[in-house]
């Protein structure tokens, strides 16, 4: 954690690094303060093209080389070793996330439970043994308090929010990796996971037949905001250059209980 924090300060907070720090795609979720990201990996790429081969961005890794080596040693991004299809574009990301004092990220949920999010707090962390008035991540009914160097792992398909104390003396920075769930980060697990219900690859707004798994999620249709009640995914065996869609479950306080494709 100390090595990563050193590179945050020397690389990302340098003039060159600051130029690459941007609002996340979900910037409309936060109130007050500021919530921004320095991205090392996005499965949809940085120029509108799918990131192939699956690797951390070499340009950005020049600013944090040791961090990138540590991530690669930990097999991040996931799925690369097995040449698996990527989950839907924005679902696999590696970011340094900054939240300024007083920032509140309102309750939201990911569109799939096929991934897990791992965060490592670097600055603006809570002191050991403190909780009252501290910054925290709320996942469902549980509050999680960041501490320096202690990884936090959570399923962000559960309704979750971020609350940063206005009394912090510096921004809270975390290294955050949203990666393919370890249960499916292998060819056999991946195939089993997406084998139960399938739909043809193509424009997800085109309705599939009932035999192919039913219509696409309503959230993908123009002007619709409803969420489907059943899982839907594309058939496995896709080439690595194809994005794999995993169904939306919708905001729920307790989150979905199991991975898509498993018997509920």
Secondary structure (H, E, C), 142-198: EEECCEECCCEEECCCCCEEEECCCCCCCCEEEEEEEEECCCCCCHHHHHHHCCCCC
Locus of tokens 């307790």: 254
Closest to 33 measured CA to CA, from 105, 97, 96: 105
What was the pLDDT predicted at 217? Answer: 37
List the structure tokens of 141. 């009914």
Taking the domains of the chain in order of start, what are their residue ranges?
1-180
For residue 257, the model assigns a pLDDT of 39
- Dihedral angle sign, alpha carbons of residues 249, 255, 256, 260: positive
- The rounded distance, in Å, linking the Cα atoms of 129 and 77 is 33
SS3 category, 18: helix
Paired with 243 in beta bridges are: 86
Q: What is the pLDDT of residue 129?
A: 58
The DSSP symbol for 22 reads B
248 in Cβ contact with 241 (< 8 Å): no
Q: Single out the residue of 193, 188, 135 nearest to residue 164, CA to CA.
A: 135
pLDDT of residue 225: 33
CA–CA separation, 21 and 16 (whole Å): 9
pLDDT tens, N- to C-terminus, the chain (264 residues)? 899 999 999 999 988 888 888 766 566 788 788 888 899 988 777 766 666 667 898 989 999 999 999 999 988 887 666 667 777 656 788 999 999 999 999 888 877 778 889 999 999 998 875 665 589 999 988 899 999 999 999 988 888 999 999 999 999 999 999 888 888 887 787 777 766 544 333 333 333 334 444 443 333 333 333 333 333 333 333 333 333 444 333 333 444 434 433 322
CB 233 within 8 A of CB 199: yes
3-class state of residue 94 by DSSP:
strand
DSSP letter assigned to residue 127: P
pLDDT of residue 144: 92
pLDDT value of residue 262:
31
Handedness of CA 53, 59, 65, 67 (dihedral sign): negative
Characterise 219 by phi-psi region: left (phi > 0), alpha (psi -120 to 50), beta (else).
Answer: alpha
d(CA 151, CA 228): 33
Dihedral, 153, 156, 159, 164 alpha carbons, nearest 10: 60
* 22: phi then psi, degrees, rounded to nearest 5: -130, 165
Fold of 1-180: Jelly Rolls (2.60.120)
The pLDDT of residue 203 is 35
Looking at residue 130, its pLDDT comes to: 62
Q: How far apart are CA 177 and CA 246, in angstroms?
A: 18
Contacts with 178 (C-beta within 8 Å, 6 or more apart), sequence order: 91, 92, 93, 94, 110, 115, 116, 117, 118, 156
- Number of Cβ atoms within 10 Å of the Cβ of 253: 10
């Amino acid at each position: 954690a100390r090595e990563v924090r050193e590179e945050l300060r020397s690389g990302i907070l340098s003039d060159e690094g600051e130029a690459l720090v941007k609002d996340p795609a979900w910037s409309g979720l936060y109130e007050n303060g500021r919530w921004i990201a320095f991205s090392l990996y996005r499965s949809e790429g940085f120029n509108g093209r799918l990131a192939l081969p699956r690797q951390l961005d070499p340009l950005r890794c020049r600013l944090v080389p040791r961090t990138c080596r540590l991530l690669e040693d930990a097999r991040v991004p996931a799925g690369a070793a097995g040449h698996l299809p990527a989950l839907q574009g924005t679902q696999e990301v590696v970011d340094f996330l900054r939240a300024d004092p007083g920032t509140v990220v309102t309750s939201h949920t990911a569109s799939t439970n096929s991934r897990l999010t791992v965060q490592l707090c670097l600055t603006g962390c809570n002191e050991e043994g403190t909780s009252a008035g501290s910054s925290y991540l709320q996942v469902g009914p549980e509050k999680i308090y960041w501490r320096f160097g202690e990884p936090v792992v959570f399923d962000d398909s559960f309704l979750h929010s971020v609350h940063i104390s206005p009394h912090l003396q510096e921004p809270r920075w975390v290294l955050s990796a949203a990666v393919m769930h370890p249960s499916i980060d292998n060819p056999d697990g991946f195939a089993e996971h997406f084998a139960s219900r399938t739909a043809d690859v193509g424009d997800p707004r085109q309705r599939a037949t009932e035999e192919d798994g039913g219509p696409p999620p309503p959230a993908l249709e123009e002007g619709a905001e409803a969420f489907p009640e059943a899982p839907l995914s594309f058939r496995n065996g896709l080439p690595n250059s194809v994005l794999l869609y995993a169904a939306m479950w919708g905001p729920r306080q307790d989150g979905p209980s199991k991975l898509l494709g498993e018997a509920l």
